[in-house]
């Protein structure tokens, strides 16, 4: 279809103008992407080889110390481990909740669909800072959870789940859930519901239908949504650092700390480069796996 348009355009215009048109159309987008993404990333790549001497932000030079430090620095390896563990567990939980949620929306009659989609959009639309603040009022000793449990008689003393890893997990899962849900919903929409009926007609119980029919058909979506929420959870630092214990140092927190706290630009840049490369790799995997359907019109 685009080839047809090209042919028609080519009949009317000199060749160079036809070739220039797409670039002209793309120029604002390209300009932004190059000036504010390509350039800064290149700058950051160069910065990561600079040296950090005395209290200056950076000293031009060429050293691999900043990368080598990641292998030797116990703070970094601890942060890497923390980040991976947090991201892994919260992504698994997100995928499970998102999967069941998407399956429900898919199975429910169409009139429920919009209400559920609106519900799923909530966490996506509310600022991460508002989400943090919401949970921040839920978990502490004088928060809603403690109050609800005490007044319902389940416990006698006030409890606090604030500044625990559990709180960090809940916050992280909440932030990543909508991404996961929408990817999985688009996968479910691609499944023909008749296969469920066929499976039931052949005598399979719902659980067996799920394991042998639905799960294999949605495998790609599970992988893609897992990768997507993993990326998000690895990159974010505000939620774990605000809800989790003070010792919960993620890579994102470390980058911010090196940049704003210690003014060690080369080190911050090196950490960022590693994070960037990791994200790029996971993104390639997503692109291979994800489907291109639209969700809202399903």
CA nearest to 181, candidates 92, 121, 133: 121
Judge whether 161 and 215 are in contact, CB under 8 Å.
no
Judge whether 137 and 143 are in contact, CB under 8 Å.
yes
By CB under 8 A, residue 8 contacts other proteins = yes
Closest approach of Cβ 134 to other proteins, in Å? 2
Closest approach of Cβ 47 to other proteins, in Å? 6
Query: In terms of CB distance, is 222 or 274 closer to other proteins?
Result: 274
Q: Which H helix or E strand runs over 106? A: helix 74-107
Which of 133, 211, 215, 261 touches other proteins by CB under 8 A?
Answer: 133
CA 96 vs CA 184, 210, 222: distances in Å: 11, 14, 9
Per-residue x/- marks for other proteins, 168-197, CB under 8 A?
------x--x--------------------
- Residue 278 CB-density burial (10 A; 0-12 exposed, 13-18 middle, 19+ buried): middle
Q: Which stretch binds other proteins (CB under 8 A): 4-12, 61-69, 188-196, 214-222?
A: 4-12
Closest approach of Cβ 227 to other proteins, in Å? 10
DSSP state of 275: H
Closest approach of Cβ 203 to other proteins, in Å? 5
Site for other proteins in 263-282 (CB under 8 A): 265, 268-269, 272, 275-276, 279-280
What are residue 51's DSSP bridge partners? 59
Residue 104: Cβ within 10 Å count? 12
**Rounded distance between C-alpha atoms, residue 216 and residue 213, angstroms:** 6
Which of 15, 55, 72, 127 touches other proteins by CB under 8 A?
Answer: 127
Site for other proteins in 26-55 (CB under 8 A): 26, 28-41, 43-44, 47
Site for other proteins in 198-217 (CB under 8 A): 203-206, 208
How is residue 289 written in tokens? 């796996």
Which of 16, 23, 55, 194 touches other proteins by CB under 8 A?
Answer: 23
């Amino acid at each position: 279809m685009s080839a047809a348009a090209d042919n028609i355009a080519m009949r009317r215009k000199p060749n160079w103008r036809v070739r220039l048109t797409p670039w002209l159309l793309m120029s604002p987008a390209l300009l932004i992407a190059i000036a504010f993404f390509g350039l800064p990333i290149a700058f950051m790549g160069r910065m990561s080889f600079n040296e950090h001497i005395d209290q200056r932000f950076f000293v031009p030079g060429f050293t691999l110390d900043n990368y080598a430090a990641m292998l030797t620095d116990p703070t970094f390896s601890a942060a890497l481990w923390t980040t991976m563990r947090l991201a892994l567990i919260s992504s698994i939980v997100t995928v499970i909740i998102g999967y069941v949620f998407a399956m429900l929306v898919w199975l429910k009659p169409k009139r429920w669909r919009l209400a559920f989609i609106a519900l799923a959009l909530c966490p996506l639309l509310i600022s991460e800072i508002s989400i943090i603040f919401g949970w921040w009022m839920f978990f502490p000793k004088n928060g809603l959870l403690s109050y609800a449990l005490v007044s319902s008689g389940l416990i006698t003393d006030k409890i606090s789940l604030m500044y625990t890893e559990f709180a960090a997990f809940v916050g992280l899962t909440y932030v990543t859930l909508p991404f996961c849900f929408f990817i999985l919903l688009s996968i479910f929409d691609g499944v023909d519901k008749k296969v469920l009926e066929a499976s039931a007609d052949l005598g399979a119980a719902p659980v067996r239908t799920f394991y042998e029919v639905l799960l294999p058909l949605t495998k790609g979506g599970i992988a893609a949504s897992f990768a997507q929420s993993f990326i998000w959870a690895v990159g974010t630092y505000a939620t774990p650092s605000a809800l989790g214990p003070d010792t919960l140092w993620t890579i994102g927190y470390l980058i911010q700390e090196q940049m704003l706290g210690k003014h060690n630009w080369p080190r911050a840049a090196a950490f960022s480069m590693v994070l960037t490369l990791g994200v790029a790799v996971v993104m390639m995997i997503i692109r291979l796996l994800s489907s291109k359907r639209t969700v809202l019109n399903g």
